[in-house]
Amino acid sequence: MKKITLMMFALISYVGFAQQEVVQDFENAPAVAGFEGLASASLVGDPSGAGNGQVLELITSAAGNPWQGAEVILADDSSLDLTSDLTVSVLVWSNVPFSPMFKVETTGSAAAAPFAANTQSHTGSGWETLTFTLNTGDDGTAVANGIYNKVVFFPNRSSDGQAWNTPVDATYYFDNITGVKGTVGGGGGNTVNPPTSMAPTPPARPANSTVSVYGDAYGTAAGLNNVPWDDPSTLTEENHAGGDVLKAEFLNGNFFGSDLGTVADASAMTYFHIDVWISDDFTAGQVLNFKLSNHNPGDGSLTGETNAYEYTYAVGANDSQTWVSIDVPVTDWNNVETQPGFSDIQYLTQFLITSAGTIDVIYMDNFYFHQNTLGVDTFDASLISAYPNPTQSSWNINLNNSNIQSVEIFNTLGSIVKTIQVNDSSVSIDASDLATGIYFAKVQNDNNQFNTIKLVKN
């Protein structure tokens, strides 16, 4: 019995030891890409002469963003299994002290797993082995649990893992990512569940009290567009449940970025609003981090980001596969990156979202800023004139003191028979195709107010 116990102990010890192995040694040229202003990410021979073969070289730039870094897509047979042992060690070279953050993600055909990150400190004494334990949730992530085929290095993290350091011009080397080896599979993460209902209709608000980014509730919107530096993440407009919405797919890890169609000035606004539909099933630790990025004020004095604001929304158990309206004061956002003289949201240029906790796809609608004031629903019907009325061919409708935004024609059963978008003080409505009878015209002005008049077709 004693011999069996000793043999079992030896076997358990051997198996436990054998679980840790070099998962990525950079000899097989994995896919590597730098981001957010990193000067260079490339595979080079070990410059120290220590005989490590090919290693990953990262050159940071003082002109880049603090969160600059590089991602490494591991081969399908060289993935990290972090379902039980959450430690990963990496051989790191530096001649100056720094605190790299190591992050694990999933992409492509990998089954979705919560993104996780941890930060460790390097003394600057050349090659050192750093061990990252991926249960600390650095940078708003979760505890690792799954198979991961992508790792990300961030060289400018603070030593406590809570903030970003000011970037510097420096060179670092990484080699021999060691952990439990796994195999990616499972067919591509969660099933996409598109909206089954339209987003909530925004309330009427006074003119000039909103700045619209996406949605048709408040006139012309700035719009959102894909950006080349976030390939392969995508942003597409789709129609679901009778309405257009934006679909954002986090194919570049857990990150999605977009440009506004036109630079927006929201400095006079006090609230941020967006309706979000989270496609994925709910799991603990789901978070959406929104970022508003302001850029060059237009006079040529500065280029790139001048300041940025971030807001974190913790997803609740009842928030998946339903419309969630996020409506928060602008003062709730954190100013995370400010150049001298810039501290507002006057030059909104980019909108970015970072997800955590197995969120792969979200849908968005009604993205706007507002002053938290509601407009009067109706205006004086005496301001509307319609002639000829009755008519056999067409009605001419005029509105005093403001423009007509739209006109909806209803029959006596309450069905809409015509809808006309106007944006002018008058409109001619063809009635030749309508049956003889009584109709009602709901006229909406550019203050999102409305009133209804009766029309007669002979």
pLDDT tens profile 309-321: 999 999 888 899 9
Region 415-422 average pLDDT: 87
**Average pLDDT for residues 184-212, to the nearest whole number?**
76
pLDDT in the model for residue 4: 39
For the chain, what is the mean pLDDT? 85
Give the H/E segment covering residue 454.
strand 450-457
Instruction: Return the CATH number of the domain spanning residue range 2-182.
Output: 2.60.120.430
> 334: exposed, middle or buried (C-beta count within 10 Å: 0-12, 13-18, 19+)?
exposed
**What is the distance between the alpha carbons of residues 55 and 39, in angstroms, rounded to a whole number?**
17
Q: Are 286 and 315 in contact (CB under 8 A)?
A: yes
Which CATH number does 210-370 carry? Answer: 2.60.120.430
pLDDT in tens, 3-44: 334 444 344 444 444 478 999 998 877 888 888 889 999 999
User: Among candidates 304, 311, 305, 295, which has minimal Cα distance to 354?
Assistant: 311
Cα gap 126→431, rounded to integer Å: 83
Residue 1 has pLDDT above 80, yes or no: no
- In the prediction, which pLDDT does 33 show? 85
- For 392, the token pair is 């056999």
The answer, yes or no, to whether residue 268 has pLDDT greater than 80, is yes
pLDDT mean over 390-405 = 91
How far is the C-alpha of 88 from the C-alpha of 142, rounded, in Å?
Answer: 16
Closest by Cα among 162, 76, 181, 71 to 115: 71
Mean pLDDT over 396-407 rounds to 90
| Angle CA 146–227–233, to nearest 5 | 20
Q: What's the CA gap between 441 and 451, in Å, rounded? A: 8
More confident of the two residues 292 and 336: 292
Q: How far apart are CA 144 and CA 235, in angstroms?
A: 27
H or E segment and range at residue 15: helix 2-18
Listed by start position, the domains of the chain span 2-182, 210-370, 381-457
CA distances from 73 to 29, 225, 452 (A): 10, 26, 60
Contacts of 311 (CB under 8 A, 6+ apart): 272, 289, 290, 328, 332, 333, 334
Sign for the CA dihedral angle at 336, 339, 343, 348 comes to negative
Residue 7's contacts (CB-CB under 8 Å, 6 or more residues apart) are none
Reported pTM: 0.49
How much is the average pLDDT of 439-457? 85
Q: In terms of Cα–Cα distance, which of 288, 276, 281 is closest to 353?
A: 288
**Residues of the chain with pLDDT > 90: what percent?**
48
pLDDT over threshold 90, residue 325: yes
Banded model confidence at residue 338, pLDDT cuts 50, 70, 90? low
Q: Is the pLDDT of residue 324 over 60?
A: yes
Contacts of 324 (CB under 8 A, 6+ apart): 275, 276, 277, 278
Could you list the beta-strand ranges (E) of 138-226: 147-148, 150-154, 170-182, 210-214, 224-226
Domain 381-457: top CATH class: mainly beta
Answer whether residue 424 shows pLDDT above 60.
yes
pLDDT tier for residue 375 given thresholds of 50, 70 and 90 = low
pLDDT at 189: 42
Whole-angstrom distance, CA of residue 88 vs CA of residue 136: 13
- Judged by DSSP in three states, 228 sits in helix
Check residues 12 and 447 and name the one with the higher pLDDT. 447
In the numeric block, the tokens 């069905």 are attached to: 415
- Per-residue pLDDT of 205-262, as tens digits, reads 887 889 999 998 898 899 999 887 776 788 899 988 888 999 998 876 678 899 999 9
Whether 210-370 and 381-457 share one fold: the answer is no
> Where does the pLDDT of residue 160 fall: very low under 50, low under 70, confident under 90, or very high at 90 and above?
very high
